[in-house]
Amino acid sequence: MVSRPRLLAIAAMAACAGCSAGRHSQSAFRLPPDADAERGKQAFVALGCHTCHEVAGADLPKPTVQPPVPVVLGGAIDVRLSDAYLVTSIIYPNFDLAPYPRGQITSNGESRMPHHFDQMTVRQLTDVVAFLQASYFVQKTPDYYH
């Protein structure tokens, strides 16, 4: 287990790098290269993330939380997400709330997502980010928009 201060330090480093041009930028926050998406999928389930979130294209148990959380992860996006953004979203879910109706994703003004920094190892965090990164794809803009 990783202590809360250590995970918050990782998040602070991620936030500083979050302004870069993305995951592959020279100045971007880096996770270890041995992250594994399949282990990440297993950690996603073991940590109970699937009880609230669906992941586009992933074969996971259906969410069970009530009321339902409309935040579906993965799928088509316009711009590649950085590892820093995903790490921050996991360990500090209030940082940047998803653009959904606040009443569906918050309780008493706070994200309904539990803070995982007391339950998650760095290995799990690294692997969950790899799993989520593998679940997103950047959609191409048709040439007539350029």
pLDDT, tens digit, 9 for 90 and up, residues 59-102: 999 999 988 888 889 999 988 888 988 998 898 888 887 777 78
Q: What pTM value is reported for the model?
A: 0.75
Q: Which tokens is 49 given?
A: 């993330």
The domain spans of the chain are: 4-101+111-141
**CB neighbours of residue 110 within 10 Å:** 12
Q: Per-residue pLDDT averaged across 24-52, rounded?
A: 86
CA distances in angstroms from 129 to 1, 66, 123, 135, listed in the order given: 17, 25, 10, 10
In CATH, the number for domain 4-101+111-141 is 1.10.760.10
